Amino acid sequence: MAVLPDLSLTAEVKIEDLKVGMPTGLPPEEAARQETRLRQIIWKRRKWLIGKGNALPPAALGVVCDIDVGDATPVAQRVRKIPPLFREKVADLIKGLLSARMIQKSKSPWASPIVVIIKKNGVDIRLCIDYRLINGLPQLMVYPMPLVNDLLEDLDKYLWYCSLDMASGFWVVPMTDRARLIPAFITPMGLFEWMRMPFGLCNAPQIYQRLVDNARYGFLKLSPDDSTRDVFENGEPAKPGIHSVLGRRSYIDDILIGGTSWDDLCEKVERLLDVCEQWHLSISVEKSEWGMSKVDYLGHRVSGLGLEAKPKNLESLTALEFPRTLKGLQSFLGSLNYYHRFIADFAVYATTLYSLTEADFDEYVTRPEFREQEKWSHATRAFDVLKT
């Protein structure tokens, strides 16, 4: 499913909007001077800072989204019914996308339906596009996505951090003419096509990751004659000996900068912003922090003291009751696998739970008297330990 963004006007960025930390261990005047120094480095590239809201950022250079489905017959699905209560909301969302020039009216022979998801308050909605049919047609792009564990290595060697969110992510990638036709989506208000790469397409993460990796490592460079071409198709190889900007990868649009000193951090920030200007990559002011001793990154709290687990749904996790189905238990264990390094004796307790079968849960539900057996006593105790 691809989510249609709820666009709002983006506020003008002010220098005081930047979330910049202050170095410790220095006299107050010197600490304030260093904080101002970093703030000014960022502000010099304010053209590539996006404020609160979802305005469409400038298109990135040197990359395009193309979709090749070979000789596949176009798939035109029927429009799905929208409850009358939400039709005006859908219309407003479509108007916002049109005014931002993210979409345009289409004559494509392809059509994927939108799906209305009602939020928990029962009033607001989220619009999604069902791309399941067309996502099975293109050849999958072979490109290595970063491993989270690799990205979290050696982060305790730094004193200062910047946690940055690249503004609007996939939307900075323009689309070829034929690519615009294939993910066209149909609504009661008509057929529309994307001008920029939407979320939910099968190769979108790889296309964006490759763009960011190349910008930071400098494998291919922009052509001085035509910077709008796809550098991965006809770009010029960069000269060897050029060092990477940060010395480590990022995870799609989440970038972490680490500095062993304040000077080191400022130098890396400046190099990264130079690259953002070169490739037209924008940074979200609202979602980014600069020069902090602690930041949140990929579901963890990162600092010079090491990593801390920071699950988003910790409260709901600790309130869980023992699952009544094998699928529920597997879901619980899957949610813990990401943080198993922080749980003492995780393998011991998890093994007890992994040994349970579908037949065991049938017995657990239909014959409560069997819950007094030793295996269930061990299982519930292991569950209670893991969830807390």
Which residues of the chain register pLDDT less than 50?
9
Dmax (CA) of the chain: 78
Inter-residue contact 183 to 193 (CB < 8 Å): yes
CB atoms under 10 Å from CB of 123, counted, come to 10
Residue 272's nearest CA partner among 244, 300, 252 is 244
Asked if residue 317 lies in contact with residue 311, where contact means CB atoms within 8 angstroms, the answer is yes
- pLDDT the model gives residue 36: 95
E-strand ranges in 74-200 read 103-105, 112-118, 125-129, 160-165, 185-187, 190-194
137, two tokens: 């047609």
User: Are 153 and 201 a contacting pair, CB within 8 Å?
Assistant: no
User: What is the per-residue pLDDT for 240?
Assistant: 78
Over residues 41-64, the pLDDT tens digits come to 999 999 999 886 556 788 999 899
Instruction: Give the separation between CA 256 and CA 297, rounded to whole angstroms.
Output: 7
End-to-end CA distance of the chain: 33
Domain 2-306 fold is: HIV Type 1 Reverse Transcriptase; Chain A, domain 1 (3.10.10)
State pLDDT tens for residues 224-236.
666 567 888 877 7
pLDDT at 53: 58
Domain ranges in the chain?
2-306, 314-387
Q: Is 57 helix (H, G, I), strand (E, B) or coil?
A: coil
- Angle 140-142-146 (CA atoms, 0-180°, nearest 5)? 120
| Pairwise CA distance, residues 98 & 198, whole Å | 14
* Inter-residue contact 2 to 128 (CB < 8 Å): yes
Model pTM score: 0.81
Q: What confidence score (pLDDT) does residue 204 get?
A: 94
Query: What pLDDT, on the 0 to 100 scale, is given for residue 236?
Result: 77
Question: How many CB atoms are closer than 10 A to CB 383?
Answer: 20
Can you tell me the distance from the alpha carbon of 288 to that of 166, in angstroms, rounded to the nearest whole number?
9
User: Residue 72: which of 138, 141, 129, 131 has the closest Cα?
Assistant: 138
* Paired residues of 296 in beta bridges: 301
